[in-house]
Structure formats: C-alpha cells, structure tokens
Structure 1
Amino acid sequence: MKIKCANFEAVVISRPSFDDIAFINFLESQGFDWIRSGGGEAEEIVEVSGRVCYLSFGKNKQSPRDNKSYIANLISQGHESVLEHVNWTIMLSGVSRGFTHQLVRHRVGFAYSQLSQQYHDESEAHFVVPPSIKKNKELFIEWADDIYRSLSTYRKIVKTVEKSELSDKESMRELRTAARSALPNATETKIVITANARALRHFFDVRGCLEGDWEMRQVACKLFDLVSCDAPSLFYDFKKIEMQDGSFKLLKT
C-alpha cells in the first residue's frame, strides 16, 4: 500500500510594476515634481498614491519623511487603502483541499483560480500529510491506509459507473463529480491567488498566528517571505517567530 505525498511550493508569477517615467511625465505636465527617497516599485506606487490625495509633491509640499517612513506613517494611522494598488499573483502547489476551503473565505482583495476535480483526473492524486500524523509511525500507517482506500474507491467509481445519456463532456463531469465525493480533505490541489497588499496584511494578521493550523501558518509565512522581499516597508510590522516544533508563525508587532 503506497500513497504519494505532496510537497509544498509557492511561486510568484506576477508582481507590482511601476512605470515611473510615465508618472513623472504626468506630474511635470501638471506643474509638479516629486522628490524620490528610495523604495521598491510596490512601495513607490503606495507612496505616490498617498501623495496624490493631497498633491503633496515638491520641496514645499512634501514632508521630510522618506519612502519607508511615509508608508509606516500611513499604516500606523490606519490609512491602508492606498496599499490596495499593489498586488501579487502566486501559484500554490502541494496544499490540501481542506486548506483551500478555508483560504477562499478571504474574498475582499483576493482572486482565485483552482484546479478543478470535475475536469482533472485524480486517479494519481497526491496527498498532504499533517505533521502531527507524519511523526507518529503507527498513526501514519492507519491514516495512509484510509487515504489509499479512498483513492481506490475513486478509481473504482471512475471505471465502473455507467455512462449517462448526457454529452461526452457533461457525462465526464457527472462521473468525476461522483468520484471526487470519495476523496478526503487531504487531497493535494493547486491554486493561483492574486491579492493586494492590504488584503495580505489582514491575512497575515488573522491567519499567520494560528498555532493550531499548521498549513495555514505554513502558507502565510511563505507568502510573507515572498512579498516582503519585494516590499519590506509594506509589511514591516510583521515578524516570523519560530515555534517549539521548528515551524513558524507570524506576529504583528
């Protein structure tokens, strides 16, 4: 009896891009100039979006704060709407269906495209093993046996259910819809997510600290690593803390 265990992976496939030349040309046409003070593309988008609200450009109108301090002040004042102008698209693989059922509850500022079990054959599915089960040899054997039986039932349904009078496409949809009912929450899936910086901050705050939800923490910490590399100033008040078991959680400082 063997099952295939999934490996977690997260890859950024789209990140914020700032056409600074176009923006500076626009400012000049309006009679303004912008004193730049550093920051990545995402961070400069946030800064100029905030400055547009007051047209605070130029030496007579800009505050002495640099980009990093300007953003920190916005966040400390709760003025995070300008963070919605920057977003990342990330491909997640090796996550469980149980996890994505929770993830997609985050609606504001998020978009999702997930692998469909109605169109994708799961006969060779991989599965996500919870660490608490993986480290217990006897429990893992029992867990894996249950997973294997579920997968065997899926394969049997796919092979034995009679073809309906529907079209080939809808018949296949009906067949796999019936078969997927046998699969457990541990079934591996792939999902593309797009989220803006404000939505990610909320996600990190409410999900990254859940000590009892290892997979949610794993994903939150990985997303934090990816986006904070691009825009550390937008997530400056979050830190990764190592737990006793060697995993990590996020804390807002």
Structure 2
Amino acid sequence: MRVIQPSVEIIDMDSYENILKKIEKIGRVCYKSEGRIAEGSAEKFIKNLLTRQHESVIEHESISVRFTCDRGVTHEIVRHRIASYSQESTRYCNYAVDKFGNEITVIDLATGFKYDLNDEKDKAKYDIWTKAMEDAEKHYFELLELGATPEEARSVLPNSLKTEIVVTMDLRSWRHFFRMRVDSHAHPQMRQVAREAFDIFKEKLPVFFADLEGEF
C-alpha cells in the first residue's frame, strides 16, 4: 500500500491575455461598445462586469483541471454543475497488476485533517486508519485471487483510495466552486485541493478570481 498527498494540475488553460481579449470582445456585444476596446481596457471592463454580477459573460471560457484526491472528495466535486468529468474507473483498473505497482494507493488522511502525529490521540486515529487501509487492500487482492473482476472487488475499497478526476468548468462555474469548496465550512480534504487550485487560478487569472479571496 502506498500513501500519497493530493495534488492539482492544470490540464488546459489559455493565456491570461487571450482570455482577457476574448471575454472583453464577447462582453462588449451586450453594450455595443466594441469601439472602446483599447490597450489595457479588458481588465477594467471585466472587473466591472463581475462587480455588477454580470457573470454570464465569463461562461464563454473554460478550464480543465486534474485533481488527484480520494474518492470521497470526488463525490463532492461531481455535485457541481455545469461541468464535465472524466475519472479513473475502479471498474476497469486492476490495482493488483504491475501498471499500478501491485498495490492500492491511498490519500494521506493526516495531512487533510492536519493531524499532529506527536499527539497521542491523533497518532492513535492515524494508526487505526492505516490498519483499515491495509485490511482493505488485503481483502481486495483476496477477491481478485478468487477470480473476482475488478468491478466486483472494488466493493471493499475505501473512500481514501486515490483517484484522478479531470474537471472542466467555465469561469463562472469555477467561481462558484471556489466559493463553496474553499470556504472554512467545506470538508477539510475537499478544501485542501480546492484551495490549491484556487491559488493557481488567482495567480494566473487575477481579474477573474482575486476578488474572491475576501470571501473565504
């Protein structure tokens, strides 16, 4: 069994400059103000759109992100609409073969929940979790050895199982996603990957996301 940390990877995101030009050109159709497009005009125009909550305009641009996280987190991610999802399938992936290192991979519980492994109580919880993951792996392999298919054997796999999911949303949907999933009330492991994604978006596309920082 392998224990890893969650991660976030941008799969598809156009340059900031191209997105600015595209959204400004589309947004100005609403006001027939295309003649006011000039060097440096896009950021101010888009900021005004967002201030007025005219967010439908930014639905014209989308971004794809790969989340590596546990399966429990993906159950929360896929509740978001409108979006497209492609996820690693436990029906077809056989973790007992060389391709997967002949082991299951799980997402570290301690990091997401900020366990202090020098604390006796946190250490005890983590040890029980580790034992449960090892037991799940053992029973998964036993089922496969008895001739069960991966889609049968997966029934004993844990929520902590590592999975990869590619999520494509338009910019408006990403704003809603971050509002819901970076919030302090979000599940700790959900918030962990959402915050990592948000920090990337805020750095690369500031006019579309930097204003959300004050909401968290």
TM-score, length basis structure 2 = 0.85
Q: How many residues are matched? A: 203
Spell out structure 1 runs of 4+ moving beyond 3 A: none
Q: Deviations over 1:187-221 (max 9, x none)?
A: 00011111111000001111110345111111211
* CA spacing shift, 1:133–1:127, aligned 2, 3 Å: farther
Aligned residue identity for 1:88: I
- Name the counterpart of 2:191: 217
- Name the counterpart of 1:47: 24
- Name the counterpart of 1:126: 105
| Per-residue deviation, 1:229 | 2.6
Is 1:152 equivalent to 2:127 in the alignment? no
Distance 1:199 1:67 in 2: 21
Distance 1:225 1:211 in 2: 18
Is 1:138 equivalent to 2:124 in the alignment? yes
The residue correspondences of 1:35-184 to structure 2 (distance < 5 A) are 40-59=17-36, 66-93=41-68, 95-108=69-82, 110-123=83-96, 124-131=103-110, 132=113, 134-135=115-116, 136-161=122-147, 175-184=149-158
Task: Tell me if structure 2 keeps the 8 A contact 1:133–1:140.
Answer: no
Aligned residue identity for 1:221: R
Distance 1:214 1:80 in 2: 28
Distance 1:88 1:133 in 2: 29
Aligned residue identity for 1:189: T
| Per-residue deviation, 1:133 | 7.4
| Per-residue deviation, 1:227 | 2.0
Aligned residue identity for 1:4: R
Distance 1:141 1:221 in 2: 27
Distance 2:186 2:180 in 1: 13
Task: Tell me if structure 2 keeps the 8 A contact 1:51–1:57.
Answer: yes
Is 1:252 equivalent to 2:198 in the alignment? no
Q: Deviations over 1:163-192 (max 9, x none)?
A: xxxxxxxxxxxx112100001101000111
Calculate percent identity across the aligned residue pairs: 31
Distance 1:133 1:233 in 2: 31
* CA spacing shift, 1:139–1:236, aligned 2, 3 Å: closer
Distance 1:125 1:229 in 2: 34
Distance 1:177 1:134 in 2: 33
The SS at the match of 1:210 is coil
The SS at the match of 1:105 is coil
Task: Tell me if structure 2 keeps the 8 A contact 1:128–1:186.
Answer: yes
User: Would you tell me which structure has more helix in proportion to its own residues?
Assistant: 2
| Per-residue deviation, 1:47 | 1.1
RMSD of Structure 2 on Structure 1 (CA): 2.3
Q: Which runs of 5+ in 2 are unaligned?
A: 97-102, 117-121
Q: Which runs of 5+ in 1 are unaligned?
A: 18-38, 163-174, 240-250
Distance 1:50 1:77 in 2: 13
- Name the counterpart of 2:12: 14
Farther-moved stretch of structure 1 (193-202 vs 208-217)? 208-217
TM-score, length basis structure 1 = 0.73
- Name the counterpart of 1:26: none
